[in-house]
Amino acid sequence: MSAESFHHLPVMVDEIVELFAAVPSGFVLDATLGGGGHAAALLERWPHIGILGIDRDEAALAAAQERLAGFGDRVKVYHCRFDRLDEAMEALSIESLSGALFDLGVSSPQLDRADRGFSYRNDSVLDMRMDQSQLWSAKDVVNGYDADQLARVLQQYGDERFAKRIAKAIVAARPIDSTSELAEVVTSAIPAAARRTGGHPAKRTFQAIRIEVNGELEALPVALDSAIRSTAPGGRVAVLSYHSGEDRIVKERLRSAETGNCPCPPELPCVCDAIQTVRLVRGIPRTPSKDEQRTNRRASSARLRVVERIVDSPTRGRR
């Protein structure tokens, strides 16, 4: 896939670029390289940093390599899921990071390509794999899970209030082979009054199944902890999340690093010697401007959280 065919409008790109202005010289991790939009903007603006780009989607990785080729050895790429960061750094001889960026979720080119099976708007096989070498797909989840397992996935990863009704409808309609079939089954399972608000009725179901297929939330805590641990003092870790499940995990892991994972009751002095490793750059998550939300539909639900790595010290971490 060419860089042009994988065109992706990066979310909050100006804010992201400014966040990395004062990080130490070295490589900044782009943990979800995608089409390379954020990476290109960072490389163009800040000559003191390079990009370590990883992605599990080989098509995205190839498009990003083409787009970023002009930056030469300031760009290193590795094909893996972001919870394998340590492996990527070792393979590319990178000892520490100057920062890290996570732009979570699915990209516009992945949604727009019908053959990838991510979207309820296109008729395609049930796929949803970000890594095409992975054997497990959406078809296995939709046709293999029992009703209780499906309901759990829809509730946990989609915040779907009609999860049990939808799960029963999916089981009754099997075999389901295409995205259009699945979207129709989901829509028919939701009460008519509820279908009239909140966007497409199948949106939450497709999101939940995609997250389950790719193990996205399972990998996220490991990846965030690894990125924070690998970042040098003065470096920053920035995360763009797009739904509540992602954002809850991001908030919890960043807070854990800020407090040193202190287990002591908040009303009592800390006696566990917890060590704070980051400071919050801003307590309240940033959101895109109204103008950006109008011009980039993917930006509408974005939340940006940022921490800065500090020097480890023996002082207690809880604040």
CA-to-CA separations, 122 to 80, 114, 171, 172, in angstroms, rounded: 27, 5, 22, 23
Q: Which residue has the tokens 């008519």?
A: 192
Sorted by where each begins, the domain ranges of the chain are: 13-109+216-309, 114-214
Residue 177 CA to residue 143 CA, distance in Å, equals: 9
pLDDT tens across 284-302, in order? Answer: 899 999 999 999 888 999 9
- The pLDDT, as a whole number, for residue 4 is 53
Class for the domain spanning 114-214: mainly alpha
pLDDT level of residue 239 (50, 70, 90 thresholds)? very high
User: E-assigned strands of the chain?
Assistant: 26-30, 49-55, 75-79, 97-103, 231-241, 278-280, 303-309
Burial track 177-216 (b if 16+ CB lie within 10 A, e otherwise): eebebbbbbbbebbeeeeeeeeeebbbbbbbbbbbbbbeb
Structure tokens at 189: 């399972």
Q: The domain at 13-109+216-309 falls in which architecture?
A: 3-Layer(aba) Sandwich (3.40)
More confident residue, 33 or 115: 33
Contact partners, residue 209, CB within 8 Å, separation at least 6: 128, 138, 141, 142, 153
pLDDT given at position 317: 47
Q: Percent of the chain having pLDDT more than 90? A: 77
Which DSSP state fits 318?
Answer: -
User: Average of pLDDT values for 229-242?
Assistant: 97
Mean pLDDT, rounded, for 266-276: 79
Quote the CA–CA distance of 218 and 240 in Å, as a whole number: 17
Average pLDDT, stretch 300-316? Answer: 82
- 283-302 b/e with 16+ CB inside 10 Å = b? eebbbbeeebbeebebbebb
pLDDT level of residue 94 (50, 70, 90 thresholds): very high
Pair 43, 16: CB distance under 8 Å: no
Tokens describing residue 287: 């959101």
Q: What is the pLDDT of residue 273?
A: 78
Which pLDDT belongs to residue 270? Answer: 76
Please say whether the beta carbons of 275 and 244 come within 8 A: no
Strands (E), 57-209: 75-79, 97-103
Query: What crossing angle do the helices spanning 216-230 and 244-259 adopt, rounded to 10°?
Result: 30
Measured CA to CA, the distance from residue 287 to residue 192 in angstroms comes to 32
Separation between Cα atoms, residue 255 and residue 249, nearest integer Å: 10
Question: Are the CB atoms for 24 and 315 separated by under 8 Å?
Answer: no
DSSP percent split of the chain into helix, strand, coil, nearest 5: 45, 15, 35
Q: What is the pLDDT of residues 101-149, one digit of tens each?
A: 999 988 777 777 888 999 998 899 999 999 988 999 999 999 999 999 9
